[in-house]
Amino acid sequence: MTKLKIKTGDTVRVMAGDHKGSEGQVMRVDIAKNRAIVEGVNMVSKHEKPSAKNPQGGITKKEAFIHISNLSLIDPKSGDATRVGYEVRDGKKVRFSKKSNEVI
């Protein structure tokens, strides 16, 4: 299993593809497939059958997965896209921004 540098709750920017430039918060990460769901990005129309939860049925809009390689973490300090590094600080492994060298 690979270690991903993007986690649930991170703010990311889409760097490639149809939704290039859009930003949002990571809602879910699929580690096995290297994909994430980003809030408000990659919206798809889903046809839903009527059910107890949704008695009307119909077409709903929802976010679809997007590949991790197309996402870049937003540096909380500068607001720019940055790469992520790992190092041990005070005996604890932490993620840090390669641009500002700040702990994320």
Instruction: Go through the chain and tell me how many residues it has.
Output: 104
In this prediction, residue 1 carries a pLDDT of 59
Tokens of 3: 């270690």
Q: How far is CA 71 from CA 42, 45, 46, 56, in A?
A: 12, 22, 24, 36
Q: Is residue 93 part of a domain?
A: no
Q: What is the residue-averaged pLDDT of the chain?
A: 93
The answer on pLDDT for 2 being more than 90 is no
Cα–Cα distance for residue pair 38/22, rounded to 1 Å: 10
At 33, which CATH number? Answer: 2.30.30.30
Tens digit of pLDDT for each residue in 38-76?
A: 999 999 999 999 999 889 999 999 999 999 999 999 998
Q: Is residue 95 part of a domain?
A: no
Q: Is residue 87 part of a domain?
A: no
The answer on pLDDT for 87 being more than 80 is yes
Q: Is residue 5 part of a domain?
A: no
Q: Is residue 21 part of a domain?
A: yes
pTM of structure = 0.83
In this prediction, residue 58 carries a pLDDT of 93
In this prediction, residue 13 carries a pLDDT of 96
CB atoms within 10 A of CB 96: 17
Range of the domain at 66: 11-51+58-76
Q: Is residue 46 part of a domain?
A: yes
Q: Is residue 102 part of a domain?
A: no
Q: Is residue 86 part of a domain?
A: no
Total domains in the fold of the chain? 1
